[in-house]
Structure 1
Amino acid sequence: MHAVPARFPDDPPGDALAALRGATRAHHDRVDRLVDLPRMQDRDHYTRVLQVLDAFLAGWEPVVAAALGARWQPWLQARSRRAFLRQDLRELGAAPDAPARMPALAGGAAAWGSVYVMEGSALGGQFIARHLSHTGAEGRSAGSYFRGWGEATGGMWRDVRGLLAQELDTPERIAQACDAARETFDTLAHLLEGTLHERTPAA
């Protein structure tokens, strides 16, 4: 679900993006196993996944905004997909859960690592939306979150890739971002496990 996008031919030079992908692959796979794309055709499973995502974002957004500072808050607000989640939950007749408790992010580099996870998930959402639409499942009527920004998603991801190359410009900052990206995936995995009552091997 939070698929790490395949490498684009015009990925920015440098090690930041490759390091993030390599560092988080197993953690990302753990989240994908919990989301379980074939089960997303089941209304109850689909609803529970959306409730987890909404609770996660409700806790995540203020934490990452605080770590990045005022300069980046308009940028973050413009890219928030929480309104899509709330629309989907209303259509499903489901109440949102309380905001999840999120670990603090230790500075800007860590925040960009966490942003990488959530912005990458927007591309994964495009795949999920297409899959659910083709199967006639809930994604057709309550799939605003996964459809997200639609055709604009690719350009928004290119923007993020450029920012990662710009902001993660030293080995130390890359390492901090990788640690935070792994922790972001693991926090989401724990929330999914608790809600779906399933367990997966730790990354």
Structure 2
Amino acid sequence: MSALRTATREHHDRIDRLVNLTLLQDREHYATVLQVFDAFLRAWEPAVQAALPGRREWLQARSRLRFLQHDLRVLGIAALPAIAALPAFASPAAAWGSVYVMEGSALGGQVITRSLAAAGLGPHTGAAYFHGWGEATAGLWRDARALLESELSDPVALDHACDGARGTFDSLTLLLEAALHERTSAA
């Protein structure tokens, strides 16, 4: 986990700057962030399930796409057109690196949801995606970490996972930059 965190720190920071916890209070900014995450997840989920067919049920059980789609409906925000399919992952380990990013985002969502509550947004009023699994999120993260550590015990697999994680952050960054008409410094 430490290697993944170190390998993706700058990539994670770019996403944080784009999502911008303070700007999430602005409805237009928040709507754009939700739209981008929705468009990304609609392409990402089939790609990661194809790369990890033996974990399809595990992945489906952890999907937060329905939370995003709930938020869009509740807030009256139109979904963006689907993005082109994501390129296939170079290896199962690269897909696990991508899973690390998305599972970590569920944990990070717990911080974001507290900020959104100040703007009157909760799990039933437009912040279901960031609220995610609520109090169960920490336990789900521990489960994901254990699985990642098991799957990525080989140094070569870990290198591939770091590449997959960076690629996931970069894909999201490019989508957010385009939608927000903003650029961040490269990682």
Structure 1 length as normaliser, TM-score?
A: 0.89
Tell me the distance in 2 between the aligned counterparts of 1:121 and 1:165: 18
Which range moves more in the overlay, 48-57 or 103-112?
103-112
1:37 to 18, 21, 32: 21
- 1:179 deviates by 0.5
Tell me the distance in 2 between the aligned counterparts of 1:34 and 1:162: 30
- Which segments of 5 or more consecutive residues in structure 1 lack a partner in the other structure? 1-16
1:119 to 74, 82, 103: 103
Tell me the distance in 1 between the aligned counterparts of 2:174 and 2:120: 26
Specify the code of the residue in structure 2 equivalent to 1:40: L
**Secondary structure at 2:22 match in 1:** helix
- 1:99 deviates by 2.2
- 1:94 deviates by 1.1
- Checking the alignment, whether the CA contact within 8 Å between 1:68 and 1:107 is kept in structure 2 is no
Match of 1:176 in 2: 160
After superposition, what is the alpha-carbon deviation per residue over 1:142-173, rounded to whole angstroms, capped at 9, x for unaligned?
A: 10000000011011000011011110011100
1:136 to 97, 110, 119: 119
Specify the code of the residue in structure 2 equivalent to 1:76: L
Count of residues paired in the alignment = 185
Specify the code of the residue in structure 2 equivalent to 1:31: I
Specify the code of the residue in structure 2 equivalent to 1:21: R
**Secondary structure at 1:33 match in 2:** helix
**Secondary structure at 1:44 match in 2:** helix
1:163 to 121, 131, 147: 147
2:90 to 106, 113, 123: 106
2:10 to 26, 29, 53: 26
Match of 2:64 in 1: 81
Percent of residue pairs identical: 61
Structure 1 residue ranges, 4+ long, deviating more than 4 angstroms after superposition: none
After superposition, what is the alpha-carbon deviation per residue over 1:9-59, rounded to whole angstroms, capped at 9, x for unaligned?
A: xxxxxxxx1110000000000000011110100111100100000000001
- Checking the alignment, whether the CA contact within 8 Å between 1:57 and 1:99 is kept in structure 2 is no
1:146 to 130, 133, 137: 130
Tell me the distance in 2 between the aligned counterparts of 1:172 and 1:37: 35
After superposition, what is the alpha-carbon deviation per residue over 1:175-199, rounded to whole angstroms, capped at 9, x for unaligned?
A: 0000010000000000000100000
- 1:137 deviates by 4.3
Specify the code of the residue in structure 2 equivalent to 1:166: S
